[in-house]
Amino acid sequence: MNRWYLDEKSLPDAWFNVLPRLSVPLDPPLHPATRQPVTPEDLAPLFPTALIEQEMSQEPWVDIPGQVVDALRLWRPTPLVRARRLEEALHTPARIYYKDESVSPAGSHKPNTAVPQAYYNKIEGVRRLSTETGAGQWGSALCFAGALFDLEVKVYMVRASFQQKPYRRVLMETWGGSVEPSPVDQPDHPGSLGTAISDAVRDAASRSDTHYSLGSVLNHVLLHQTVIGLEAKEQLKLAGEDGPDVVLAACGGGSNLGGIALPFVPDEDVRLVAVEPTSCPTLTRGKFEYDYGDVAGLTPLLSMYTLGHDFVPPSIHAGGLRYHGDAPIISHLVKQGRMEAIAYPQGKVFEAAVQFARTQGTVCAPETGHAIRAVIDEALAAKEEGVEKVILFDYSGHGLLDLAAYDDYLSGRLPD
Amino acid sequence: MNRWYLDEKSLPDAWFNVLPRLSVPLDPPLHPATRQPVTPEDLAPLFPTALIEQEMSQEPWVDIPGQVVDALRLWRPTPLVRARRLEEALHTPARIYYKDESVSPAGSHKPNTAVPQAYYNKIEGVRRLSTETGAGQWGSALCFAGALFDLEVKVYMVRASFQQKPYRRVLMETWGGSVEPSPVDQPDHPGSLGTAISDAVRDAASRSDTHYSLGSVLNHVLLHQTVIGLEAKEQLKLAGEDGPDVVLAACGGGSNLGGIALPFVPDEDVRLVAVEPTSCPTLTRGKFEYDYGDVAGLTPLLSMYTLGHDFVPPSIHAGGLRYHGDAPIISHLVKQGRMEAIAYPQGKVFEAAVQFARTQGTVCAPETGHAIRAVIDEALAAKEEGVEKVILFDYSGHGLLDLAAYDDYLSGRLPD
């Protein structure tokens, strides 16, 4: 067998909340002005009540509303796939499984949280959402979710991407979203995730019909993504495995990694590994301290690994991994020693991505390529040691809108 | 339920051959010089023996080799999906199902034949394949299959597409293929499918280690595609349906339509419908006669509906439907009255594709949009008549590499 499906009825009906399961509790986010813990009231202008509650919830399981389950069933449960041809090419005794999140309409794991975020805003009477997007993965996901729940979506897109990657913009517009380059007030500025967050937050704060929506970092986002790991657990059983020895995923803001890894946190013998780019080495080289989530310092202070909120990562192709900080939950797990972190330069990443494409067939996103690089090295280590390791990773997205990056790699124009 | 899967073990182990089931036999292909029926010997320089046999086979079922089944299992069986949100938006009593062929690594149904073609060439000692591609769907599929069976693949790509659609070229190169703009000897010529076929045939004819490979039209290609319809039959049973009332698919060369429709030919109460563009109306406006498969007149004469081998279709976005002729099998079924044909202008097609994206989530290829247009009209007719029709169509490919076309449509720049 190559692939294991779950019946739609086996889609989880509750998200897995790691917060009450942490032996040491998370540091609270602090208000940027007072440096006191943020209150629900502080967040109310930007987020619906349900998401604010989830952000701080101590319930071990959080029910998934029926309408959200219905929408997730458009593509979930996603397949668990065994990468047999890659195993054979590596001559490894390791068994390599991946959760294929690229099958979502937007092509990545991002809709797992875009859908509930749109839903909770809709039922609380919000008519319109604003958000930022870098390369466009998150913006695409939110426009897709907005189309399902009849919400207007306004996306502030980093101007350099807006100009260089028109396909992502068109995808957002196909779902009915409207896209504007950021910064809105400086037409010659190339923009950054920082300027786009500022534009989106300002938009939401200035309109009573509009909320703001964020695609990673926050606790409720990671909560929504746990459907990935919960499904994978069931599917590994179907595949006859007791469980994984190691779980890996690429880590930018942390939602993809959190989604597959958090349900395994209580399983103490399972290694959890974050894979990041050497050019933006938040977990491997950053400091663990309170820092702003954005460049302008508008967001709460978060306790996390950070390269400094004014750090500008080089323009690597894995745009989703270019973030100065990391989800507080992921940072905490690394700090506590429950999770490992490893970094790779992008040349080695694309080498792995091309090997994957030529054995397994599918062309992955550059972000996903980071996980695949680490998986291949784990599998080769298993061969070296002669052990039958079970490796699980998150195939977080396809690379069909990132082919220019492959072109650079194949023609030798890719800097590390 | 939204989606029905089949176990990998339920992947068909034989292809469905419609040839022995036709009440009136197909007219044979004729040699372009002698106008006598083509012999296996005539075809031997270009194709492996197994494919030549399949081209003329009268066996009702043709076994699928184990290694081909193994490779198809990388993505097959594909899901059967019920388009519930589209049904709700249309307020139709019709039940709409589609076979999702976009989940293949190359993003369309094309690998269903690329894989067996690569396999049969490989086991007969061929080292290298040449082919042509227009927009790049077929070239991508053959490069993917070449990577699986360690065959060199040389793709002659229409120069205009080579220059305007670099992503498809990069995809082919990622799988290890090499791509050259056609015509090779006239660097200022924009090229056409006709010039590219000539370049590819010349390449194969001039090298003993090389065969030629074709992605549509021929009997063996349609044979390989019947896995689509065979799986759909089983999956409709799982969905609790006795069978479809009508089966629809876009029709260019005919492989996608043949794939889903041929297994239903013996079910006489099932309507079969070909959907084509009004700008290239082969079945609805063409003549049924012997004509060449290519512009230069190098191929055998085929008995088919044709607009004339020198017909140059307008440059519509559904590049896969720009063919002057049609598969002899499809042409025969239309001629005999077993299959209907309908044509749409591309504006109406994109309107349907966008409605589909905003209800079902996924963005389809422009070719697939033709089928969706016809499906929506069938569903609206069912509402008008108040009948619970079961509609089945082939979702032949995704539109992620066709977003420029959506941009033209959404910004009002699309001519019909």
pLDDT in tens, A104-149: 999 999 999 999 999 999 999 999 999 999 889 999 999 999 999 9
Model pTM? Answer: 0.96
Q: Is some CB atom of chain B closer than 8 A to the CB atom of A360?
A: yes
Q: What is the predicted pLDDT for the residue at A416?
A: 78
Residue B194 clears pLDDT 80, i.e. is over it: no
Q: What is the predicted pLDDT for the residue at A123?
A: 97
Average pLDDT over residues B215-236: 97
CB < 8 Å from B in window 160-199 of A: 166-167, 170-171, 173-176
Average pLDDT over residues A150-167: 92
Average per-residue pLDDT for chain B: 95
Q: What is the predicted pLDDT for the residue at A175?
A: 98
Query: What is the C-alpha to C-alpha distance for residues A364 and A361, in angstroms, rounded to an integer?
Result: 10
Query: What is the C-alpha to C-alpha distance for residues B218 and B138, in angstroms, rounded to an integer?
Result: 14
Q: What is the predicted pLDDT for the residue at B9?
A: 92
Q: What is the predicted pLDDT for the residue at A367?
A: 95
Average pLDDT over residues A160-167: 87
What residue ranges in B115-236 does DSSP mark as E strands? 128-133, 152-158, 178-182, 210-212
- Does A406 contact B363 at a Cβ distance shorter than 8 Å? no
Query: What is the C-alpha to C-alpha distance for residues A291 and A323, in angstroms, rounded to an integer?
Result: 13
Q: Which residue has the higher pLDDT, A258 or A161?
A: A258
Tens-digit pLDDT profile for residues A296-328: 788 899 999 999 988 888 877 888 888 899 999
Q: What is the predicted pLDDT for the residue at B102?
A: 97
The secondary structure of A51-119 as a DSSP string is: HHHHHH---SEEEPPHHHHHHHTTTPSPPEEE-HHHHHHHT-S-EEEEEEGGGSTTSBSTHHHHHHHHH
Query: What is the C-alpha to C-alpha distance for residues B14 and B72, in angstroms, rounded to an integer?
Result: 13
Task: Given CATH 3.40.50.1100, say whether it is the number of domain A68-108+220-410.
Answer: yes
Residue B17 clears pLDDT 90, i.e. is over it: yes
Average pLDDT over residues A82-99: 98
Tens-digit pLDDT profile for residues B373-399: 999 999 999 999 999 999 999 999 999
Residue in A73, A85, A410 nearest the CB of B173: A410
- Does B362 contact A85 at a Cβ distance shorter than 8 Å? no
Q: Which residue of A has its CA nearest to B84?
A: A74
Biggest alpha carbon–alpha carbon distance for chain A? 61
Q: Which residue of B has its CA nearest to A10?
A: B1
Q: What is the predicted pLDDT for the residue at B101?
A: 98
Q: Where are the domains of chain B?
A: 68-108+220-410
Q: What is the predicted pLDDT for the residue at B320?
A: 83
Q: What is the predicted pLDDT for the residue at A3?
A: 95
Query: What burial class does residue A33 get, using C-beta atoms within 10 Å of its C-beta: 0-12 exposed, 13-18 middle, 19+ buried?
Result: exposed
- Does A8 contact B3 at a Cβ distance shorter than 8 Å? yes
> Which of A157-161, A404-408, B349-353 comes out lowest in average pLDDT?
A157-161
Q: How close, in Å, is residue B258 to chain A by CA atoms?
A: 25
| pLDDT-derived band at B322, boundaries 50, 70, 90 | confident
Q: Are A134 and A181 in contact (CB under 8 A)?
A: no
Q: How far is CA A317 from CA A101, A357, A415, B211, in A?
A: 19, 17, 10, 37
Percent of chain A with pLDDT over 90: 88
Peptide bond into A190 cis (omega under 30): no
Element at B115 (helix H, strand E): helix B111-123
Q: Write phi, then psi, for B270 (nearest 5 degrees).
A: -90, 120
Residue B295 clears pLDDT 80, i.e. is over it: no
Q: Which residue has the higher pLDDT, A315 or B228?
A: B228
Residue A182 clears pLDDT 80, i.e. is over it: yes
End-to-end CA distance of chain B: 37
Q: How close, in Å, is residue B202 to chain A by CA atoms?
A: 28
- Does B176 contact A107 at a Cβ distance shorter than 8 Å? no
* Three-state DSSP string of B65-77: CHHHHHHHCCCCC
Q: How far is CA B237 from CA B4, B230, B288, in A?
A: 10, 11, 37
Residue B90 clears pLDDT 90, i.e. is over it: yes
Tokens found for residue B80: 């059967």
Q: Which residue of A has its CA nearest to B178?
A: A410
Query: What burial class does residue A284 get, using C-beta atoms within 10 Å of its C-beta: 0-12 exposed, 13-18 middle, 19+ buried?
Result: middle
Residue B293 clears pLDDT 90, i.e. is over it: no
Residue A346 clears pLDDT 90, i.e. is over it: yes
Q: Is B118 helix (H, G, I), strand (E, B) or coil?
A: helix
* Residues of chain A neighbouring B82 (CB-CB closer than 8 A): none
Query: What burial class does residue B298 get, using C-beta atoms within 10 Å of its C-beta: 0-12 exposed, 13-18 middle, 19+ buried?
Result: middle
Query: What is the C-alpha to C-alpha distance for residues A243 and A235, in angstroms, rounded to an integer?
Result: 10
Average pLDDT over residues A65-85: 97
Query: What is the C-alpha to C-alpha distance for residues A217 and A1, in angstroms, rounded to an integer?
Result: 35
> Which of A15-19, A391-395, B181-185 comes out lowest in average pLDDT?
B181-185
| pLDDT-derived band at B155, boundaries 50, 70, 90 | very high
Average per-residue pLDDT for chain A: 95
